[in-house]
A and B are shown apart, each in its own frame.
Chain A
Amino acid sequence: MEYAIEMLNIRKEFPGIVANDNITIQLKKGEIHALLGENGAGKSTLMNVLFGLYQPEKGEIRVKDRKVNITNPNIANDLGIGMVHQHFMLVEPFTVTQNIVLGKEPTNKFGKIDIAKARKEIQELSDRYGLKVDPDSKISDISVGMQQRVEILKTLYRGAEVLIFDEPTAVLTPQEISELMEIMRSLVKEGKSIILITHKLKEIMEVCDRCTVIRKGKGIGTVNVSETNATELASLMVGREVHFKTEKKEAQPGENVLQIKNLYVKDSRKVDLVKGLDLEVKAGEIVGIAGVDGNGQSELIEAITGLAKTNSGSIRVNNKEISNFSPRKITESGVGHIPQDRHKYGLVLDYSIGENIVLQTYYKKPYSKAKVLNYKEIFRKAEDLIKEYDVRTPSVYTKARALSGGNQQKAIIGREVDRSPDLLIAAQPTRGLDVGAIESIHKKLIEERDKGKAILLISFELDEIMNVSDRVAVMFDGKIVANVKPEETNEQELGLLMAGSRVKAGERNQ
C-alpha cells in the first residue's frame, strides 16, 4: 500500500515540554484522515513539523514512499502539501485572485503579472471542486466561510495533493460546516488526500475514513471510523469515560440576582442593538441565552459588565443599580465575566499565567500592599488555581501566550469562579475546546449554581444551551422573545424562536 504521507515515530521537544512523543500517522491516498486530540495534545505541533515550520528531534517523514527532509514550508509546498490555517492568512483589501497568486504570480513575457490568466485558472479550480468562489470579490467583502474557501483554493493553486485542515469548523456557522464537508468529499473524489485536525467528534463520524488519536503528545493509535463511535473516540482522546450529558440536580432558584428592565444599548455605529430587553437571573439558576450571532448578545454582555454604555433602562445586581458603572465597580459589585474573546479581553497574553490570575485583584491584599505587589502571594495563588482547574502549563511563570486555547480558557474560568461572584456571565465558555475540557467547564458552572450563584450563559451552540441551562431565554433582534424550559422544548422549536418566526403566546417578555 502506498501512502500519500507517512510520519513515523515523530518526536518534537520544546524547552520543558515534549510536544510530540513517538507519534505515527499514515495518510492513504484519497482518504480523509482525522487527527484527533485534546487542546494542547500536540496536533498543531505535529502538523507544523509536516509543514516544515518545526524540525523534529527524531522520526522520519515519507512522501509517496520516499524519505524527505522538510526544512521549510516551501519544500512542503513543492511536495504537494498545503495547509488551510485556522487563522486565515489573507490580505483584506486584495481580491480573491490577488490573494491566491500572492507569492506565485504568473507573469507574461514582459514580466507583468498576468492576472487574467490567473483569474481563469482560479475560476476553473473553483468550478471543479464546487467552491463557488468569485475570483473578483475583495476579501473584506466576503464571509468567513468564503474566506476559508479562498485558503483552500490557495493550496490547490499551488498544486497541493495533500491538504491539511487545521480545525476548519471552529469559525463556521452550521450551514457553512455542512458545505465544507461537501467540499472535502469532492476533493477526495478528485484524488486529493486530506488530514483534518479537529476535536469535534461529530465531524469525524460524518466525513472521515480513519482517525489517529493523540493524547498528551503521545500517539494512541489509528482506528477505522466505520468501526467505532463517538463515545469510544472521546474516551480514546481523553483517556477516561466521557459523559456527553451533564448530570445535574433540579435547580433551586432563589432571589433575583440580575434584573434587567427595558434596556437599550447602541453599538459603535450608533445603531440600537439591544432594544427594550427584560431579563432576570435568580440565585441558583443557570439561564442560557439562545440566539443567532448578531442579535445583540455581545452588546448585552458589554452593557452588564460596563464595557459599553447603556442608553436607557436599568440593570440591577443584588438590587443595586449598576448601569454605566465602570468595569471595576461592576466587578466589585459581584459580577464575574468569562469573555467571549479570550485573547482580546480575557488575558494579557504577554503576562505570565500568574500575573493573569490576579488581573482583577492585583490591587487588593494579599497580592499587593501600599501599591507594592507581592509576587510570592500572586504566584502561590496561581499555583493553587492551576492545580484546581487542571491548567496545563510548564509553570506559573510561563506567558499566557504559550498555552493552548483550552488551558487559557481554564485559567480564565479559574480566575473568575475563584472570585466567587454572585453573578457569573459565561460567554461562549467552551468555544474551540475539546470534549474533556467542555465537560469539566460545564461541571464547574453547575457546581457554582449549586452554591447559589446566578449564572448567565451565552452560547451559539444549542447543544450547550440545552444541556446546561435551567431556563432558556431566546434572544432575537435585541429582545428576549421567549423563556422556555429546556426539558419542555426541542432544538426545532428553539431554532424557530431564534429566527423570530414564532413567538410563544403568553411567554413573551415574561
Chain B
Amino acid sequence: MISNNKMFGILVPIISVLLGLIAGAIIMLGSGHNPIRGYVALWNGAFGDGYTLGETIRRTTPLILTGLAVAFAFKTGLFNIGAEGQVIIGWLAAVWVGLVIDAPMIIHLPLSVLAGAIAGGLWGFLPGILKAKLGVHEVIVTIMMNYIALFTTNEIIRSVLTDGKTTTESIPQTASLASAWLQGLTLYSRVHYGILIALFAAFLMWFIIERTTYGYELKAVGFNQHASNYSGMNVSKNIILSMVIAGAFAGLAGAMEGLGTYGSISVMSGFTNLGFDGIAVALLGSNHAFGIVIAALLFGALKEGAGEMPTTAGVPTELVDIIIALIIFFVASSYMIRWAILRFKKEEK
C-alpha cells in the first residue's frame, strides 16, 4: 500500500501544475487571447523541434542542480537561500580554471567542473560553520553571501580575468562541455554534456539521502537535533556537511553555465535567478531527487517555450512567469489540495 504522504508528494505537485495552467488559461481568456493557441505555442516553443528541445534541456540542466542544492540542505532542516551565490561563484571558479590551466581534456575538463563544485561548496561551508558553531541563522548569511558572490565575481572579471572588459575570453576546447554531436542532433542548439552531470548528481543525492549512513544522519539532524546528539551523531559536522554538499551542487550548476552554455563569464548586472528558481524547483519536486528532475524540466520547458508565445499567439512572455508563480502558489497552499483529495476519497467510500 502506498502511504498517504507519498501519494500527496506526487499528487499535490501534479494538481498544482494543472491548476496553474488552468488559471493561466483563464487569464489568457480574460485578456482577449486564445489559450489553446497560447499553449500550443508554448509547447512548440519548448518541444517543437530539435533546436527548442535542445534549448529546453540546456535550461533544465542548471535548474536540476540548484533544485538539488536547496532540497539537500532542506533534508537537514536548513534553508539554503544561497544557491544563487553558490552558482555565481561556481561559474567563476570553473571558467577561471578553464582559462588559466593548460592540460589535455581528460584532466582539464574534470578539473574545471570540480573547481566549480569546490567553490560552491566553500560558499556553503561558511554559512554552515556559522550556523553550527555560533547559531547564526543560515537564511541571513546565505542571502548576504549571494551579494558578496555577485559583486566579488564582477570585480574579479573586470580587474583580474580581463583588462577592464565585461566578458572573459572563451575557454579552450579542453575545458568545454559543449558537444558538437549533441549540437548536430539538435539543429545547433546550445545543449551540452552537462545534462548527464546533472542527472548523475540527482542520482547521487537520492543515493546519499536514502541509502547511506550520511543521509541517515543528515535527515536525523534535520528532524531532531537532540535525539541525534543523544544517539552519538555529531550535529555540527552534519550541518556543515549538508551545506557544503548543497553548495557543491549549486556550484556545479554554475560550472554548467560557464563550461557548457556560455563558455565564458560576463559581468552581471543582477542575479542569474538560477538559485532562486532552484527553491521553486525543490518545492515543486517535493525535495525528492526524481521530483526535482521533473520539476526542473517543467520549468525549463515553460521558460524556453515562453519565447514562442508572443510571435505565434500574441501572448506576452510574462504570462509564463504568472503561470509559474501560480503553480508555486498552489504547491505552497497544498493544504487546500490535500483537503480536497481527502474529501474526494471519503465520498468515494
Contact = CB atoms under 8 A, between A and B. Distances in A.
Contacts of A355: 216
Interface string B4-25: 1000000000000000000000
B273 interface: no
Nearest to B207: A372
B31 interface: no
Given A328-B232, A351-B220, A359 B227 contact: yes
B213 A327 contact: no
B272 interface: no
Given A368-B213, A373-B216, A344 B232 contact: no
A188 B28 CA distance: 65
A346 B223 contact: no
A249 interface: no
A331 B227 contact: no
B226 A345 contact: yes
A284 interface: no
B212 A351 contact: no
Interface in B212-254: 212-216, 219-220, 223-224, 226-234
Given A371-B213, A371-B214, A344 B229 contact: no
Contacts of A362: 213, 216
B231 A359 contact: yes
B286 to A, nearest CB: 15
B211 A327 contact: no
A344 B233 CA distance: 15
Interface string A316-358: 0000000000111101100001010000111111110001000
A331 B232 CA distance: 8
A360 B224 CA distance: 14
B230 A337 contact: yes
A307 interface: yes
Contacts of B230: 305, 307, 327, 337, 339, 345-346
B229 A307 contact: yes
Contacts of B223: 348-351
Contacts of B231: 327, 331, 359-360
Contacts of B232: 326-329, 331-332, 360
B228 A348 contact: yes
A373 B223 CA distance: 19
A88 interface: no
Nearest to B3: A397
Contacts of B214: 371
Contacts of B227: 344-348, 359
A244 interface: no
A351 B233 CA distance: 15
A363 interface: yes
A307 B230 CA distance: 7
A371 B226 contact: no
A502 B1 CA distance: 62
A174 interface: no
B226 A372 contact: no
Contacts of B228: 348
Interface in A225-265: none
Nearest to A363: B213
A134 B172 CA distance: 78
Contact of A373 (B1, B212, B224): B212
Contacts of B220: 348, 351, 359
A15 interface: yes
A195 B326 CA distance: 48
Interface string A70-102: 000000000000000000000000000000000
A305 B232 CA distance: 10
Contacts of B233: 328
Contacts of A348: 220, 223-224, 227-228
B211 A373 contact: yes
Nearest to A306: B232
Contacts of A351: 219-220, 223
Contacts of A15: 1, 4
Contacts of A339: 230
A327 B212 contact: no
Given A326-B232, A327-B232, A344 B213 contact: no
B216 A327 contact: no
B345 to A, nearest CB: 11
A373 B213 contact: yes
A312 to B, nearest CB: 23
Interface string B185-226: 000000000000000000000000001111110011001101
A349 B228 CA distance: 11
B342 to A, nearest CB: 12
A332 B231 CA distance: 11
Contacts of A373: 211-213, 215-216
Contacts of A346: 227, 230
Nearest to B215: A373
A355 B219 CA distance: 11
Nearest to B349: A57
Contacts of A344: 224, 226-227
A349 B226 CA distance: 12
A362 B228 CA distance: 12
Nearest to B212: A371
A372 B216 CA distance: 10
A72 to B, nearest CB: 13
Interface in A366-415: 368, 371-373
Nearest to A375: B211
Contacts of A350: 223-224
Contacts of A337: 230
Contacts of B212: 368, 371-373
A360 B211 CA distance: 17
Nearest to A345: B230
Interface string A451-490: 0000000000000000000000000000000000000000
Contacts of B215: 373
B6 to A, nearest CB: 11
Nearest to A356: B227
Contacts of B234: 326
Contacts of B224: 344, 347-350
Contacts of A331: 231-232
A359 B234 CA distance: 13
Contacts of B219: 351
B211 A372 contact: yes
B338 to A, nearest CB: 15
Most buried by A among B4, B224, B230, B234: B230
A360 B227 CA distance: 10
A344 B219 CA distance: 16
Interface string B80-111: 00000000000000000000000000000000
Interface string A282-308: 000000000000000000000001010
7 contacts: A15-B4, A305-B230, A326-B232, A328-B232, A348-B227, A363-B213, A368-B213
Which A-B residue pairs are the 9 nearest by beta carbons? A328-B232, A359-B231, A345-B230, A350-B223, A327-B232, A344-B226, A348-B224, A348-B223, A360-B231
Given A326-B234, A355-B216, 18 more contacts: A305-B230, A331-B232, A339-B230, A344-B226, A346-B227, A346-B230, A347-B227, A348-B223, A350-B224, A359-B220, A359-B231, A362-B213, A363-B213, A368-B212, A371-B214, A372-B211, A372-B213, A373-B211
